[in-house]
Amino acid sequence: MKEADERESPFFFQKPTDAIVQDGATVLYPPDTTDFQFEVELVAAIRLDGQDIDVASANDHILGYAVGIELTRRDRQRKMREKMLPWERGRSFDFSAPCGPLQRMQTVAHATSGAISLTVNGSKKQSGDISNMIWSVPEIVANLSHSYRLEPGDLIFTGTPAGVGPVQPGDRLQGVVAGVGSVTITIGPKAG
């Protein structure tokens, strides 16, 4: 979300195909962390392939939107950042991208504004508005397409409002984006 002077080029990381978790699932607390955290995000699903997409036509490549919760091994991310190494160990792991039902463009408008929030056990932890994103969805799609060829079915998690924080086994998380929907998961016991 927007803060002063944060329009530096965005950066991206990828997640494995088994990162996607459906609405209502239980996600085991992963191994290799003692600081497991949440981030609610608007998710854009790609319908048309493309590379070097311009901002003006980026919306034409979007199939629809969903609500996602990016799960992060924050301690691992910090260690990688300190060493100036890629963040995959903290960000790209099994079951780290719960995603709610996709709302196709026939039923929702392009997401340019609307409340976005996340609760843990009914207590609001994150709250913002899509209009306050540092980069708009078309800008994100265009920027990403300059480094990667986008393909139908690609999911792009677009950023999070302030307030990320830790979760523990037994916690119930619900992410909501007005006009798009919600996703709910439960954190299960520690894996292994």
Q: What is the pLDDT of residues 82-123, one digit of tens each?
A: 888 877 888 889 999 999 999 999 889 888 999 999 999 999
Residue 1 domain-assigned (yes or no): no
Q: Is residue 175 a contact partner of residue 69, using CB atoms and an 8 Å limit? A: yes
Residue 9 domain-assigned (yes or no): no
Q: Is 19 helix (H, G, I), strand (E, B) or coil?
A: helix
pTM of the model: 0.92
CATH code for position 33: 3.90.850.10
- Give the model's pLDDT for residue 158: 94
Task: Report which DSSP code applies to 92.
Answer: S
- Give the model's pLDDT for residue 111: 84
Q: Is residue 61 a contact partner of residue 45, using CB atoms and an 8 Å limit? A: no
Residue 11 domain-assigned (yes or no): no
Residue 78 domain-assigned (yes or no): yes
Mention every residue, 6+ apart, whose C-beta is less than 8 A from residue 9.
143
Greater confidence (151 vs 109) lies with: 151
pLDDT digits (tens, 9 = 90+) for 133-149: 999 999 999 999 999 99
Q: Is residue 71 a contact partner of residue 40, using CB atoms and an 8 Å limit? A: no
pLDDT at 4 over 60: no
Q: What is the extent of the structural domain holding 85?
A: 17-190
What DSSP string describes 62-83?
EEEEEEEEEEEEHHHHHHHHHT
Residue 50 has which token pair?
């493309």
Provide the domain count of the chain.
1
| C-alpha to C-alpha distance for 96 and 152, rounded to whole angstroms | 21
pLDDT at 3 over 70: no
pLDDT at 68 over 50: yes
Residue 81 domain-assigned (yes or no): yes
